[in-house]
Amino acid sequence: MPHIGDKQPVSQPVSEPVPRPVSLGTVTLTVNGEVHELIVEPQWTLQYVLHDKLGLIGTKEFCGEGACGACTVILEGRPVLSCLMLAIECDGKNIETIEGIARANHPLIEAYIKHSCMQCGFCTPGFVVTAKALLDRNPDPSIEEIKEAMVGNLCRCGTYPAHIRAIEEAAAILRGVLVAQGGEGRD
């Protein structure tokens, strides 16, 4: 995983006049590879915009205060909570939601179904998105690393053990050491 300490700070051109620092209400979000130009109110959260304005209803809000992980999306490679993120601050950013992961036919999807990782299913998108962010950075996580990455996602129905099996399996498929079974993809 790259560490930001390795990056050189970008230096500011000194002579350029400082523009007025007003965030305009117009933002450009790249969501699952699609570019959306939207007008947002400053107090709208990213979760609200994805769910209510773009119709990406896989991103759920449950606690609304950072305690459950149901609203997880991937922002510039980091799994973050869209309920505690202002949409206006995501201008020009890349966002991945559960819909994008499903459309890409990520092996996590089939693994989750196969291992019955859900009962009511409300928490599932948050888990899958978090797991996807983990596998992007760490293709071969240990059980301990899986647990570490997933502790911010809460499941009211208690499906925890199944997630570990599903994630391990998806990781193996991605690394090519296991062949996906019955993966037809879903468009």
Partner 1 sequence: MKKFKHLTVRTVEEATSVLAEHGKSARVIAGGTDLLGELKDSILRDDDYPEVLVNIKEIPGLEHITAQDGGLRVGALTRLEDVATHPLVREKYPALAEAAKRTASPHIREMGTVAGNLCQNNRCWYYWVPDNLFDCLRKGGRACYAVTGDARYHSIFGAARVETTACSRACPNHIDIAPYLADIRRGELTTAARTLLRSNPLPAITGRVCPHWCEQECARGEFDQAVAVRAVERFLGDHVLDRAAEFYLAPAAESGKRVAVVGSGPAGLSAAYYLRQAGHAVMVFERMPEVGGMLAYGIPPYRLPREILKRQVEAIAGTGVEFTTGVEVDAEKFGALERDFDAVFVAGGASKQTDVGVSGEECLLSGTEFLHQVYERPESMAGKVVGVIGGGNTAIDVARTLLRLGAKPIIYYRRTKDEMPALDEEIAKAEEEGVVFQFLTQPVAAGVAGAGGAAGPIELTCCRMELGEPDESGRPRPVRVEGSEFSVSCDVVIKAIVERPDYSFLPPEFVDQRGRLRIDPETGRLADKVFAGGDFVTGPATVAEAIAAGKQAAAAIDGHLRGGRAEESREAAPVCVLGESFSAACMLPFERVEVPELPVEERVGALDREEVGTLDTSSVTREAERCFNCGCVAVNSSDLAPVLVALGGRIKTTEREIGAEEFFTVGVNTSTVLRPGELVLGVEIPEPAPSTKSSFLKFALRKSIDFPIVNVAAAITCEDGAVSSARICLNSVFGVPLRVAGAEQYLVGKVIDEPTAEAAADASMEGTVPLLNNRYKIQIARTLVKRAILACAP
List interacting residues with ligand FES (CB under 6 A).
Answer: 61-64, 66-71, 81, 83, 118-123, 155-157, 159
Among 57, 67, 113, 157, binds ligand FAD (CB under 6 A): 67
Least gap, CB of 77 to partner 1 (angstroms)? 9
Residues 6+ apart with CB under 8 A from 62: 68, 70, 71, 122, 123
**Is the Cα torsion angle 57, 54, 41, 31 positive or negative in sign?**
positive
Least gap, CB of 16 to partner 1 (angstroms)? 10
Say whether residue 42 binds ligand FAD (CB under 6 A): no
> What span, in angstroms and rounded, lies between the C-alpha atoms of 53 and 91?
15
Among 25, 42, 66, 139, binds ligand FAD (CB under 6 A): 66
Say whether residue 151 binds partner 1 (CB under 8 A): yes
Report yes or no: 90 and 74 within 8 Å, Cβ to Cβ. Answer: no
Lookup result for tokens 């819909």: 99
> What span, in angstroms and rounded, lies between the C-alpha atoms of 96 and 78?
10
Least gap, CB of 156 to ligand FES (angstroms)? 4
Instruction: Copy the structure tokens of residue 26.
Output: 């117009």
Closer by beta carbon to ligand FAD, 32 or else 82: 82
What's 45's DSSP letter?
Answer: B
Among 50, 54, 85, 95, binds partner 1 (CB under 8 A): 85
* Closest among 79, 2, 9 to 46, alpha carbons compared: 79
Least gap, CB of 45 to ligand FES (angstroms)? 9
Least gap, CB of 66 to ligand FAD (angstroms)? 3
> What span, in angstroms and rounded, lies between the C-alpha atoms of 7 and 74?
21
Say whether residue 143 binds ligand FAD (CB under 6 A): no
121 binds, among ligand FES, ligand FAD, partner 1, none (CB under 5 to 8 A by kind): ligand FES
Residues near ligand FAD (CB under 6 A) are 65-67
